[in-house]
Chain A
């Protein structure tokens, strides 16, 4: 699914400065795009506009040429907090997405098993409620639930921000693996420069609600976490990203 944003502007009630102001960008089908920027730069707002959660004040968001109006399971979203339903088991959380899609109940079990396995979860967690799982496992369950909706675009809003460093790296591996196996478009929001470098094909740098830079990631597709710093082009890319973000701080 191709996504495009034209002259996008979002101004919240009671706020002086717009959250987004005249943003234009294109996201090609099957690409892995990272939105990076400091807090308040508008990256989450942009993602919510792509998801159809936020209605733009000006401009338009299109998916395969059609205007995005409201939410749609074809654009799945993973939030910073996992937002699993705490009263439901992991199985029931994933089954909810399948039921919303109209999957008959008799067909659900094998699909749930497949989705949990795909997200790297042992099947024993099916009967557990989210409170019994670690942060990483909860995010995996959230990803499994999103995948149940068979989204063409996976929108991820700082999904690993609350995880420890080791879990974060494993989750990055999972997302990269899912992207390469499923071939879906991924739009990933982060404020972590290294995470942006490791995951992206294209990086959009946002600053004060505007698109400040579009950077193509020159690194080879295989990027093991431990060897990332040794990759050719890593230092230049990191410096450039830092410069873009540093400029914001000076502003």
Chain B
């Protein structure tokens, strides 16, 4: 029979060594958790964490096998579909076509939106005549204009530029008009007391004050541009991401469809961040004042 005291000592030593072995692991765990927390605290880190969680969730649902593979593909299958599309040489030209069409339409829509907002917000004629017409036209869904645009301008680029421009115009015009028309009267009184001309007041007071609203409208317009271009490309065209989405749907290629949607999301996010970054030096004051 073994003495309790003799067995107790090695056991205690074993426990101690086990604790000693566990301590660095625990420390490692806490360090990695701290790093994770630090990473998620940054914008990029947060995005990576969010995407990782989404992939994990997708994989978990896939693992249940509730849906057939061809409708709900695994994450690796989606990745392979993307690589295959890239190797086929389809993705690059399609992305370029969609981005070009969205960009041209976005520029036209933004220029028209800001320009007409200047008319409707700062002139009597614009307020009385142009504004009611635009208010009447603005609620018309842009998607509904696609068939008409194809009828009028054919299936070429022109019809896509037009529908994207109209889609971008509406949010840009509404936001810009709201921004320009709501300049605090204090600022206008100050500029008036200093003898500022109408033109100087517009350039140096009304426009800079409305800039955060204009940028907000542009960001919404940017997102709208990609929605509209995808729908426009689904009809009567042979290139662009929208066309590829329609093709993937036609051939029940869910993996390719998901790749295309992810690409659209990435392009949209990049464009949105680009607008935000370029405009930040001119709109930072709005957050500083709060």
Chain A positions within 8 Å of B, measured between CB atoms, are 51, 53, 70-73, 75-77, 79, 81, 83, 85-88, 96-97, 99-101, 129, 131-132, 145-146, 148-149
A-B pairs under 8 A by CB, number = 77
Q: Which residues of A contact B211 (CB under 8 A)?
A: 87
Task: Enumerate chain A residues within 8 angstroms of B197, measured Cβ to Cβ.
Answer: 100
User: Interface extent on B, as a size class?
Assistant: 20 to 34
Residue of B nearest to A155 (CB): B193
B contact residues around A72 at 8 Å (CB): 193, 195
Contact B288 A131 (CB under 8 A): yes
CB pair B194–A85 under 8 Å, yes or no, is: no
Contacts of A99 in B (CB 8 A): 196, 200, 204
Given A85-B187, A85-B208, A87-B209, A71–B285 Cβ distance below 8 Å?
no
Residue of B nearest to A53 (CB): B189
Inter-subunit contact B285/A79 (CB<8 Å)? no
A126 to chain B, nearest CB (A): 16
A-facing mask of B276-290, CB < 8 A → 1, else 0? Answer: 000000100110110
Using known A-B contacts A79-B186, A96-B204, A100-B200, determine if residue A87 contacts B282 with beta carbons closer than 8 Å: yes
Chain B 164-202, CB-CB to A under 8 Å as 1, else 0, gives 000000000000000000000011011111111100100
Q: Give A53 to B188 CA distance when docked, in angstroms.
A: 11
Max chain B Cβ within 10 angstroms of own Cβ: one of A99, A132, A145: A99
Pairs across A and B, CB under 8 Å, 25 listed: A53-B192, A70-B192, A73-B193, A73-B195, A77-B193, A79-B186, A79-B189, A79-B190, A81-B186, A83-B190, A85-B187, A85-B205, A86-B285, A87-B285, A96-B194, A96-B196, A96-B200, A96-B204, A99-B200, A100-B194, A100-B196, A131-B289, A146-B193, A146-B194, A148-B194
- Known contacts A97-B194, A100-B195, A131-B285, A88 near B208 by CB under 8 Å: yes
Residues of chain A lying within 8 A (CB to CB) of residue B189: 53, 71, 77, 79, 83
In the complex the two chains form, what is the Cα distance from A97 to B209 in whole Å?
17
Known A71-B189, A99-B200, A145-B194; further 14 A-B contacts with Cβ < 8 A:
A53-B189, A71-B195, A73-B194, A73-B195, A79-B190, A81-B186, A83-B187, A83-B190, A87-B208, A87-B286, A99-B204, A100-B196, A100-B200, A149-B194
Secondary structure class of chain B's binding surface, majority of residues = helix
How far does the Cβ of B141 sit from chain A's closest Cβ, in whole Å?
Answer: 35
Q: How far is the CA of A75 from the CA of B193 in the complex (A)?
A: 7
Residue of B nearest to A98 (CB): B194
Interface-central residue, B194, B195, B204, by most chain A CB under 10 Å: B194
Contacts of A76 in B (CB 8 A): 193-194
| CB closest residue in chain A, given B204 | A96
CA distance A145 to B191 in the complex (A): 11
Instruction: Give the distance to chain B from A95, nearest Cβ to Cβ, in Å.
Output: 9
Given that A96-B204, A99-B204 are contacting pairs, would A86 and B195 also be in contact in the complex, using a CB cutoff of 8 Å?
Answer: no
Q: Which residues of B contact A75 (CB under 8 A)?
A: 193
By beta carbon, the residue of chain B nearest A73 is B195
Q: Which residue of B lies closest to A48 (CB)?
A: B189
> Which residues of B in the span 37-61 have a Cβ within 8 Å of any Cβ on A?
none
Query: Which residue of B is nearest A101, CB measured?
Result: B195
A197 to B245, CA, bound (A): 79
Which of A86, A129, A145, A146 counts the most chain B CB atoms within 10 A?
Answer: A86
Residues A100 and B288 in contact in the complex (CB < 8 Å), given A85-B205, A87-B211, A88-B208 = no
